[in-house]
Amino acid sequence: MILEKKEYKACIVNIPLQSVYNRCLQFVSSNKKWRTTETYKDDKRAIIHSKTGVSLKTWGENVTIYMKKVDPQKTKVYILSKSGERMDFGKNKENVFSIINFLKSLTNKIEVINEKINDHDLIPIKGRYCYLFRWTSQISVEVG
Q: 11-60 pLDDT, tens per residue?
A: 999 999 999 999 999 999 998 889 999 898 989 889 999 998 888 777 88
The arithmetic mean of pLDDT across residues 78-101, rounded, is 88
Residue among 113, 109, 111 at smallest CA distance from 14: 109
pTM for the model stands at 0.78
- What are the structural domains of the chain? 5-117 (3.30.530.20)
Residue among 104, 95, 83, 108 at smallest CA distance from 28: 95
